[in-house]
Amino acid sequence: MRWRARTIVERQLRCQATRPQLKRDPLGGRARPRSVIGMNDRLNAWRALEYHDPARVLRELKVAAVQVEAEANRLGITLDPLSLRLRTTPLKKYREWRDAAIFTYGMGLAKGLKMGYATHEAEDYDFVTAWVLDEQSYFCPVQLKELPPADLNPDARIGDVIESLRKYPSSTESVLAVKLSREPELDLVSLRIPKAPFKEVYFFWQTTPAPENYILCGDLKEEPGAFEYSYPE
């Protein structure tokens, strides 16, 4: 796995698709970790995981959602709005897996790579991405965070998400992906996050509901870029 370190300062600007595009470096960077102790075990474990095609998963989820609503209408059943949004406790993991697919799909498009993801968790990551470059397999663990929708938590702010990062180890090799489930309250052209204990930091959010369009912005630990993409058809 290739990694690189960053230096950081804090600014508040706005992330637009007109900004420079995301760098095409492999996710997680190019330099090797400072310590390789335990990394061979991790790599062997990651190689054994089942990786999903995010585009295929997202298409199947969209079809399933349409079928569920159609069947409910046929039966005259009113579905719980929170369940439809995957906002109940039993459905939380499925929402997070969907967010993992959305992030991986966008990142793959931005990097020009066919990327997959595995829903495998550890202390410092929630899923693992994988891709092949020059006939060599690469893996990158990703920690997923979310700024919840305003109707569910109107007082939540991006700063709260940033503050919550203090609990993570200072030497994690994971990349951070923050899903903004509302319009950003900050301008995000080149937001810098002080002392974020991750190799790279990205924000992504939905910009339009139909069709579903997204922006992926990062790496927020150096000169960031933006990439706009749509939900797979």
Q: What is the pLDDT of residues 46-57, one digit of tens each?
A: 999 999 999 999
**pLDDT confidence of residue 8:** 26
What is the distance between the alpha carbons of residues 143 and 147, in angstroms, rounded to a whole number? 14
Q: What percent of the chain has pLDDT over 70?
A: 80
Backbone angles phi, psi at 98, to 5 degrees: -65, -45
What is the distance between the alpha carbons of residues 28 and 172, in angstroms, rounded to a whole number? 11
pLDDT tens column, 107-126:
999 999 999 999 999 888 99
Whether 171 has a pLDDT exceeding 80, the answer reads: no
Q: pLDDT band for position 187 (50/70/90)? A: low
Read off the DSSP letter of residue 164: G
Of 52, 185, 55, the closest CA to residue 109 belongs to 55
* pTM, 2 dp: 0.84
Whether 11 has a pLDDT exceeding 60, the answer reads: no
Q: Is there a contact between 132 and 138 (Cβ–Cβ < 8 Å)?
A: yes
pLDDT tens column, 62-101:
999 889 989 999 999 998 999 989 999 999 999 999 999 9
* Residue keyed to tokens 């919840």: 148
**pLDDT confidence of residue 193:** 73
